[in-house]
Structure 1
Amino acid sequence: MNKYKKIASVLCMALLLTMIFSTIAFAAGSGDVAGAIEGTWTDASSQIKTVVNKVVFPAIDLILAVFFFAKLGLAYFDYRKSGQFDWAAPAILFACLVFTLTAPIYIWKILGM
């Protein structure tokens, strides 16, 4: 019985915290939900674009660059061992790296921002 009381108290606390920290969003007086969403998007789109350009794309580029050079090194060691160089994985990682390095130039035109 003690286990059920503990579970019930945790669920009640979670419900209480959800009710306390949740807010209700109302559209402007006419009830135009689409207009409220469009207004929010136009206000936030420049901030989203800045964050994606300065944080998200550089983080992805860094990860891909590390993987590219690591895979290139592993391919070289395999070449030394077997005499055949496998270009597929380094080529794919290089293409992805070039794509993400140049993405901020054209991605916003595609999205219409």
Structure 2
Amino acid sequence: MKIKKSKKKAIASAASAMCFAAMTSITACASGDVAGAVTSTWNTARSQIVSVVNNVVFPCLDVILAVLLFVKIGAMYMDYRKHGQIEWTPVAVIFACLIFTLTAPLYIWSIV
């Protein structure tokens, strides 16, 4: 006995819809303290997050900003030679961001 393709598609789509409904109904029926779960997860993983951010993320940002600062200083010098004027704002902003990321590990974790 052969089943037509349209019946196979209908059965497959109905089965997948039932599976999808079953997966979402489990989480809809679940209830609990979400804030407590997030807080306990943060307290458990905090030391690892702090060490990764202090030893990987901030140094990467520092290197990127330092390279960008030197490139911007070089471009500023070339612009000075070409036009005879200096635009300090981009260099000052990048330098301020570099100072912020260099000093952030000292105080950022007391804020968070």
TM-score by length of 2: 0.68
Residue 82 of structure 1 is matched in structure 2 by 83
How many Å separate the matches in 2 of 1:34 and 1:92? Answer: 38
Residue 41 of structure 1 is matched in structure 2 by 42
How many Å separate the matches in 2 of 1:62 and 1:48? Answer: 20
**Structure 1 82/33 Cα, relative in aligned 2: closer, same or farther at 3 Å?**
closer
How many Å separate the matches in 1 of 2:33 and 2:71? Answer: 53
Residue 51 of structure 2 is matched in structure 1 by 50
TM-score by length of 1: 0.68
Residue 106 of structure 1 is matched in structure 2 by 107
How far is the alpha carbon of 1:40 from its aligned partner?
1.6
Secondary structure of the structure 2 residue equivalent to 1:86? coil
Gap runs ≥5 in structure 2 = 1-8, 21-25
**CA offsets 1:68-106 (integer angstroms, 9 cap, x no match):** 100000000110111111111111100110011001111
The answer to whether structure 1 residue 59 and structure 2 residue 46 are counterparts is no
How many Å separate the matches in 1 of 2:38 and 2:97? Answer: 33
Gap runs ≥5 in structure 1 = 1-7, 26-30
**Relative to total residues, which structure has the larger helix share, 1 or 2?**
2
How many Å separate the matches in 1 of 2:63 and 2:106? Answer: 18
Structure with higher Rg: it is 2
Instruction: Tell me which of the two structures has the higher relative contact order, counting C-alpha pairs closer than 8 angstroms and 6 or more residues apart.
Output: 2
Residue 74 of structure 2 is matched in structure 1 by 73
Please report the RMSD computed on the Cα atoms of aligned residues, expressed in angstroms: 2.5
What is the percent sequence identity of the aligned residues? 59
